[in-house]
Amino acid sequence: MTEPAAGLVVVDKPAGLTSHGVVARVRRLAGTRKVGHAGTLDPMATGVLVLGVGRATRLLGHLMLTEKGYAATIRLGVATTTDDAEGEVTATAEPGAVAAVDASAVRSVLAGFVGEIDQVPTAVSAIKVDGKRAYQRVRDGEEVALAARRVTVHELAVGDVRRTAADGVDVIDVDVTLRCSSGTYVRAIARDAGAALRLGGHLTALRRTAVGPYGLAEAHTLEQLQETYAALPLADAARAAFPARDLDPREAGAVRVGRALDVPLDGLTALFAPDGEFLALYEPRDGAARAVAVFC
């Protein structure tokens, strides 16, 4: 089988499937084992999962650093071991405590998460602690204490705030949308908002709406990909995700052998040959434009 051209596949991940499960499906569809993803989604979560095929896998580490968009539902009044609906319930708020919190208080607390914040990741994250994933340590019965990390929530909009009951417990469900930096845990925002309101909190739904420039409009379900395999060509993917610079033949020749260039760049930049071929990612460093990754 001829290996498919390098490119990005933007998947609308279904609930109940791991990110690695999506990679396995796309490997079969693309006819190659060289498939990776730009940041995982929990099995409960749905939405945009960006996969790289062939040489495009080398773009993924850089795409992981871009901002992401989410739509989520936070449930206030119940805390869980995983800060989402898949965990075991650890605490429930008294009905009177839930009744005492109004929508304006909920909106005020959530507004406090906009901007740069120090966030402690959820204990069941994929962060490594002494070489072992945090979630694996939790599963093995270990106590896990993760250090706070500085993240940025660029925007957090609160939609519907509604009172309901879940398993006989009074709760408040809150719909939110947000844009945030890579490494932000929306589950941790739910947890911390619940703690601030002294109710406890967790996520009941999470949908990733964007990874950098790639959104749901570009995403395909696995069923659609089964019918028609569709990958964004490597050059198009690079132009969409990074600032672009078109080179003259001399400059392109230098890039092909990995040489530094005496050209001004504004951060990490995708460089293209005169014929449109994507050559490399370069960045300004030590007074010149230098290679970060070469693709030609």
This prediction's pTM? 0.89
The pLDDT, as a whole number, for residue 142 is 61
Across the range 105-134, mean pLDDT stands at 82
pLDDT category at 144 given cuts 50, 70, 90 is low
The pLDDT, as a whole number, for residue 244 is 96
**In this structure, what token pair is assigned to residue 94?**
């008294």
Distance between CA atoms of 239 and 243, rounded to whole angstroms? 7
The pLDDT, as a whole number, for residue 2 is 58
pLDDT tens across 33-83, in order? Answer: 999 998 888 889 999 999 999 989 999 888 877 899 999 999 999 999 889
Residue 193 scores a pLDDT above 80: yes
pLDDT category at 5 given cuts 50, 70, 90 is confident
pLDDT tens across 73-88, in order? Answer: 999 999 998 899 988 8
Helix locations, the chain, DSSP H: 19-30, 60-63, 95-99, 103-111, 134-139, 186-196, 222-227, 234-241, 249-256
Residue 243 scores a pLDDT above 80: yes
Residue 22 scores a pLDDT above 80: yes
CB 75 within 8 A of CB 201: yes
Residue 134 scores a pLDDT above 60: no
| Residues annotated as catalytic (active site), given as ranges | 42
Top-confidence residue, 66 or 276: 276
